Structure 1
Amino acid sequence: MSQPVATANRLSMTQVLICGAAIVTLSMGIRHGFGLWLQPVTMDRGWSRETFAFALAIQNLMWGLTGPFAGMLADRYGAFKVLLAGALLYAGGLVLMALATSGLAFTGSAGLMIGMAQAGTTYAIVYGVIGRNVAPEKRSWAMGITAAAGSFGQFLMVPVENWLIGAFGWQQALIVLGCLALAIIPLAFGMKEPAAPAPVGVQQSVGQAVREAFGYRSFQLLMAGYFVCGFQVVFIGVHMPSYLRDNGLTPDVATTALALIGLFNVFGTYAAGSLGQRLPKPLILSWIYALRSVAIVAFLLLPLTPMSVYIFSAVMGVLWLSTVPPTNAVVAQIFGIKHFSMLGGFVFLSHQIGSFLGVWLGGRLYDSTGSYDVVWWLAVGLGVMAALLNLPVRETAIERGSAQPA
């Protein structure tokens, strides 16, 4: 059975949701607009699109690789310290990203530093606090609220970032964002949990938790589906602005498209979290991936106009981060909350491997073929695969001490 949340030594649910939502709004909102920097940075520095795309690909990969370790530290020492370190890395990475004059330096700042910063300031860390301080029957809903905040951050921050670039230039805009990332520090105090009482009885070690999860078929299927999620959303988020400009649409259309994704994702993630309280979460995930593929096919086959872009962005927005609440809620429901941040980090690692391939292949194949078409259709096929993979996922709590499904 999943572990109940102790009523003592627990933060207020309202406090956790407000501070957690604000942290995710900042950390996710800032990164969602990085696609707006692709053309100004590459034109000013004389770099290829692959150079920029590779740096963001490394960012996503580093985010995924360090996520389990950030989660492990948060599970053991508390999310507060991890959030502080993540905020400082985020601010430093954005400033150095503005100052980088070589592709290697840009990859170090935009890729390595910001990737590690995101591992310490986004869902795995915040959801760990939610899992420990929100009752199980409200967990999926609470995660939906937090994911919706991240979506609102995209809606809010993309126009702000576009304005900053236009008003101050791309370098100064990054420095302003670096200062803004420091606002995560005071918010982290609202996520500082009181010391928990010493556990009694036999406790599951980190190694045992990892072996149990990776040997469980439903966990494997969730990871495979989340790989597809990362591939699709990061490819679209980074490369769609350039895809639209290549096809004769103005930069304002791209900005509006990214903002619409963020706006409609507020509704999508909240709906997914709420539905997860009443419907099987694996079924919700299957429908999300299937509908993404349908939306991309329609976008590619219909004439490309500002209106078709806006409709596509609204539909994709509903489906954008709506995978996050049900995926994480299933992990908590199966394995409990003791190692939840770490296990959520491993699931997210799969997401970020997909993100790495999505953003890097987008730049690589564009530079070699002059088109994004191959990657668009690859995203369609992967969406169908993810829809099928999530159908057999079992969300019931694991029965420890009995045989595990292979």
Structure 2
Amino acid sequence: MQRLFRPSAQLMLWCGACVLFLSLGIRHGFGLFLQPMSLDNGWGREVFAFAIALQNLLWGVAQPFAGAFADRFGTARAVAGGAVLYTCGLLLMAASSTPWLLNLGSGVLLGIGLSGTSFTIVFAGVSRAFPPERRSLAMGICSAIGSLGQFLMVPGSLALISGFGWSVAFLVLAGLAILMLPLAATLTEAPATRRPEGDLTLIGALREAFSHRGYCLLSFGFFVCGFQVVFIAVHLPAFLSDRGLSIEVGTIALALVGLFNVAGTYLAGLWGGRFSKPKLLAGLYAARAVVIVLFVFVLPITSWTAYIFGAAMGFLWLGTVPLTNGTVASIFGVKNMSMLTGVVFLFHQLGAFLGGWLGGSVYDRTGSYDIVWIAAIGLSIAAALLNLPLHERPVARLRLATEAG
């Protein structure tokens, strides 16, 4: 019986998944640092929230350039450079005693470092190693392993903060982050994995994408995703603390997001190979709106409803990533995938910037997160409606190249 993955593709899949395990797992616990760092340094919540928002903004701005670099020079080099910057950012966060140091470490270095060590780069490299019919499943598996890091790293970060303080916790996390450097060496792409897709320059690829209605709608949907996930990841522990629940409850809720995200992303990748990816995206965004409404405005906020919310949001958390990236690959091919998904991800990070920063800004001014929760619900409904009319039909250039090849 033919094996699902070739050995070289397996190596890229599992090592790429380990990169995501570390990269996404470490940053998923940053919300736990908001209160101890703010209290120790005498900051309002907006200081830390702005640093995380800046991180997400620069991550998004740098992503298309990191993607173009990876498309030109290879996934391995892009991930290696990102790993070094990521580690340096954590080291600087450990020494942050002023807002500008925090912004430099968390915002600038980590933001740019993430552009080389996250989904866009890893998924594009993995996608080029698999045929189209197995691409969505490969990304789902890779994303699921990365999501496991979000589950395991959150309680680990809390244990480090509780036992040694937030500064030492960042030093330990930096020691873990540098492990992405040797993993990057395994992500070298074989020339045979690149398939002919017609002649197209980088500028031509961008022009083709932005003239495509579906690409623009996908970008807006990803903006909504970024707004929601970063707002929740950064502010959920503090939101629950304001309601009288312990920091342990917030930690468990975030850990459940990571745990159930494993199943959610795997199933999204699996179903994305069988059903319409845009329709699945529409259902996912609609379900997020329902979950937020029930948790924030209908049900009493207790430890158990917080856990249920974490589990439900986790199931819906990053299933958008293999579905969105898979749709881009289906429409435009994989030759310029890192760069094209990088541009879509820029919109995700614009939303992430607003979600992270507005959470702290609105809270400092009103003493409540209600306005931001309402915005998250409205955006989710809009994203669901805009994804419904999308299709995955390849562009004419790709169809002609496929027929000729």
TM range (shorter): over 0.9
Q: 1:303 aligns with which of 284, 300, 303?
A: 300
Whether 2:107 is the aligned partner of 1:115: answer no
Q: 2:145 aligns with which of 149, 170, 173?
A: 149
Q: 2:168 aligns with which of 172, 187, 190?
A: 172
User: Partner residue of 2:36?
Assistant: 40
**RMSD of equivalent CA atoms:** 1.6
Whether 2:20 is the aligned partner of 1:24: answer yes
How far apart are residue 168 of structure 1 and its match? 1.1
User: Partner residue of 1:212?
Assistant: 208
Residues 11, 133 of structure 1: 8 Å contact kept = no
User: Structure 1's 185 and 401: CA in aligned 2 closer, same or farther, altered over 3 A?
Assistant: closer
Residues 332, 398 of structure 2: 8 Å contact kept = no
Q: 1:225 aligns with which of 211, 221, 227?
A: 221
Q: 1:362 aligns with which of 350, 359, 362?
A: 359
User: Partner residue of 1:5?
Assistant: none
The 5 A counterparts of 1:340-355 are 340-355=337-352
Whether 2:399 is the aligned partner of 1:379: answer no
* Aligned partner letter, 2:357: W
Q: Distance in 2 between matches of 1:112 and 1:80?
A: 22
Q: 2:49 aligns with which of 39, 49, 53?
A: 53
Q: 1:162 aligns with which of 158, 163, 172?
A: 158
Q: Distance in 2 between matches of 1:382 and 1:75?
A: 32
How far apart are residue 400 of structure 1 and its match? 2.6
How far apart are residue 401 of structure 1 and its match? 9.5
User: Structure 1's 392 and 162: CA in aligned 2 closer, same or farther, altered over 3 A?
Assistant: same
Deviations 1:184-225 (A, max 9, x none): 011112111245699989620000000110110000000010
Residues 11, 193 of structure 1: 8 Å contact kept = no
Q: Distance in 2 between matches of 1:166 and 1:133?
A: 42
Whether 2:317 is the aligned partner of 1:320: answer yes
Show structure 2 runs of 5+ residues with no match.
Answer: 1-5, 400-405
User: Partner residue of 1:396?
Assistant: 393
Which secondary structure state, in structure 1, belongs to the residue aligned with residue 335 of structure 2? coil
Q: How many residues align?
A: 393
User: Structure 1's 144 and 308: CA in aligned 2 closer, same or farther, altered over 3 A?
Assistant: same
Deviations 1:20-67 (A, max 9, x none): 110000000000000000000000011111010000000000010000
User: Structure 1's 365 and 45: CA in aligned 2 closer, same or farther, altered over 3 A?
Assistant: same
Residues 335, 397 of structure 1: 8 Å contact kept = yes
Q: Distance in 1 between matches of 2:196 and 2:249?
A: 58
Q: 1:193 aligns with which of 189, 196, 199?
A: 189
User: Partner residue of 2:257?
Assistant: 261
Residues 128, 193 of structure 2: 8 Å contact kept = no
How far apart are residue 17 of structure 1 and its match? 1.1
Q: Distance in 1 between matches of 2:82 and 2:149?
A: 18
User: Structure 1's 288 and 217: CA in aligned 2 closer, same or farther, altered over 3 A?
Assistant: same
Deviations 1:264-303 (A, max 9, x none): 0100000111001111011100000000000000001211
Q: Distance in 1 between matches of 2:51 and 2:196?
A: 46
Q: Distance in 2 between matches of 1:290 and 1:201?
A: 35
User: Structure 1's 364 and 197: CA in aligned 2 closer, same or farther, altered over 3 A?
Assistant: closer
Q: Distance in 2 between matches of 1:145 and 1:323?
A: 14
Which secondary structure state, in structure 2, belongs to the residue aligned with residue 191 of structure 1? coil
Q: Distance in 2 between matches of 1:360 and 1:252?
A: 24
User: Structure 1's 197 and 251: CA in aligned 2 closer, same or farther, altered over 3 A?
Assistant: closer
Which secondary structure state, in structure 1, belongs to the residue aligned with residue 186 of structure 2? helix
Q: Distance in 1 between matches of 2:56 and 2:231?
A: 11
How far apart are residue 103 of structure 1 and its match? 0.5
User: Partner residue of 1:6?
Assistant: none
* Aligned partner letter, 2:175: C
* Aligned partner letter, 1:355: A
Show structure 1 runs of 5+ residues with no match.
Answer: 1-9
Residues 35, 238 of structure 1: 8 Å contact kept = yes
User: Partner residue of 2:239?
Assistant: 243
* Aligned partner letter, 1:54: F
* Aligned partner letter, 2:338: S
Q: TM-score, normalised by structure 1?
A: 0.94
* Aligned partner letter, 1:91: T
How far apart are residue 146 of structure 1 and its match? 1.2
Deviations 1:371-400 (A, max 9, x none): 001001110011000000101112111113
How far apart are residue 236 of structure 1 and its match? 0.4
Q: Distance in 1 between matches of 2:7 and 2:189?
A: 6
Q: 1:129 aligns with which of 125, 129, 137?
A: 125
Which secondary structure state, in structure 2, belongs to the residue aligned with residue 133 of structure 1? coil
Q: TM-score, normalised by structure 2?
A: 0.95
Q: Distance in 2 between matches of 1:263 and 1:242?
A: 20
Q: Distance in 2 between matches of 1:52 and 1:117?
A: 19
* Aligned partner letter, 1:347: V
Q: Distance in 2 between matches of 1:308 and 1:200?
A: 51
Q: Distance in 2 between matches of 1:168 and 1:199?
A: 51
Q: Distance in 2 between matches of 1:168 and 1:146?
A: 32
User: Partner residue of 2:331?
Assistant: 334
Q: Distance in 2 between matches of 1:381 and 1:202?
A: 40
User: Structure 1's 210 and 165: CA in aligned 2 closer, same or farther, altered over 3 A?
Assistant: same
Q: 2:271 aligns with which of 268, 271, 275?
A: 275
